[in-house]
Amino acid sequence: MSYKNIQPDQTIGIIGGGQLGRMLSFAAKQMGYRVAILDPKENCPAAQVSDLHICAPFHDQIALQELYDISDVLTYEFENVPHQVLEPFLDKIPQGLFPLKFTQDRLLEKETIQKAGFKTVPYLKIDTQKDLKIACEKLGYPVLLKTRSGGYDGKGQQFIHHQDIQVDINGPSILEKVIELKQEVSLIVTRSIHHEVKSFPVIDNIHRAQRLIESSIPTSLSEQLMEKVLHIGKRFAEKIDLIGTLAIEFFITTNNEILINECAPRVHNSGHLTIEACQVSQFEQHIRTITGQPLKETNMIYPALMVNIYGQDYQASLDVLANYPNIHYHLYGKKEMKKNRKIGHVTICTKDIEQREYYRNVMRNILN
């Protein structure tokens, strides 16, 4: 299918109204577009800053039809929209459905990565307790059981450290060997409807209890590893004929092996620092890919550190706002400050690495 350029004043329909939709909407509005959001939550983060909100579940065909009718192009901001329901609207979805399909299912995702010629952690498919027992023995402890769909921020995951631990399977799953990681990095690759490809700088990520805590650029990877990550990202994007944005999470093992952990068919939490630290933000670049505008250069302007703010940290984070005016403070307009749910982030841009470490400690002391 071929897709037309979309001109300012035309309408971008975004399926999903969370913080990613909100930041996509900010970018699209700045570029002169109208934005419509489909999301079941009233006053969701993206609806607060968009022209129109259709408040309905993602599988509601009438609501989807309404969004389709008023939009000139459609995009999605999260991967758990049931892809089948989007089938009738494909002629306005330049990204297509394959990126949604393969990232919705950890098994298909691993198979897609391996078929494209890239490495993943060793894993096995799990449907029954018996599968689990056999797989644990095959892979060797410790292992990590993950539901095939619906997981994020470590949800749907259970560690199994030795054979005496009993766990119950929650639906179709995969079992992964737990790998000793030297580092985790991510790469955000974009490819436009005119097949122009651009990657952002490689981002270093720190997770705690399987949740992303901090992201920073420039990466501390060696030049050689960094080049390999960039190469893998570009090749992978071309192999799957990507249109739009693909965020790729990598594991770097203690043997300097590069494994692809998982992908997201959209802008990514680790890329929030691109707003202040790169020549273009991941949000604007994504809008450029689907509207047919030439992609911008993505060079780093400032070294930067992004720290997530979770619900439990809201009160403490106000300290940042009050005392550190040079830290970029973002809140997503969420009404409920739920534990372990992202409600905002901060970005620190500084060329002075010592100052960056100082701020890293400030943030670690403020947040849980």
Sites of contact with ligand ADP (CB under 6 A): 121, 144, 151-154, 176, 178-179, 181, 184, 207, 210, 249, 261-262
Determine the Cα–Cα distance for residues 173 and 93; give it in Å rounded to an integer. 29
Q: Does 111 belong to an annotated binding site?
A: no
Which of 249/284 has CB closer to Mg ion? Answer: 249
Closest distance of CB 177 from ligand ADP, Å: 6
Asked whether the beta carbons of 236 and 189 are under 8 A apart, the reply is yes
Complete DSSP assignment for 50-100 = SSEEE-S-TT-HHHHHHHHHH-SEEEESSTTS-GGGGGGGGGG-TT-SHHH
Q: Does 178 belong to an annotated binding site?
A: yes
Cβ burial 87-106 (10 Å sphere, 16+ → b, else e):
eebeebbbbbbbbbbbbbbb
Closest CA to 322 of 339, 346, 297, 299: 346
Closest distance of CB 255 from ligand ADP, Å: 14
Closest distance of CB 112 from Mg ion, Å: 16
Which of 73/229 has CB closer to Mg ion? Answer: 229
Q: At residue 144, what are phi and psi to the nearest 5 degrees?
A: -130, 120
Which of 269/293 has CB closer to Mg ion? Answer: 269
Segment (H or E) for 316 = helix 314-323
Determine the Cα–Cα distance for residues 287 and 86; give it in Å rounded to an integer. 19
Which of 170/323 has CB closer to ligand ADP? Answer: 170
Question: Which one of Mg ion, ligand ADP, none is in contact with 207 (Cβ closer than 5 to 8 A by kind)?
Answer: ligand ADP
Determine the Cα–Cα distance for residues 159 and 363; give it in Å rounded to an integer. 29
Contact string (CB under 5 A) for Mg ion, positions 198-237, x = contact: ----------------------------------------
Determine the Cα–Cα distance for residues 337 and 182; give it in Å rounded to an integer. 33
Which of 55/167 has CB closer to ligand ADP? Answer: 167
Please, which of residues 246-285 interact with Mg ion by CB under 5 A? 249
Q: Does 154 belong to an annotated binding site?
A: yes
Residues within the interface to Mg ion (CB under 5 A): 249
Residue positions forming the annotated binding site for ATP: 106, 146, 151-157, 176-179, 184, 207, 261-262
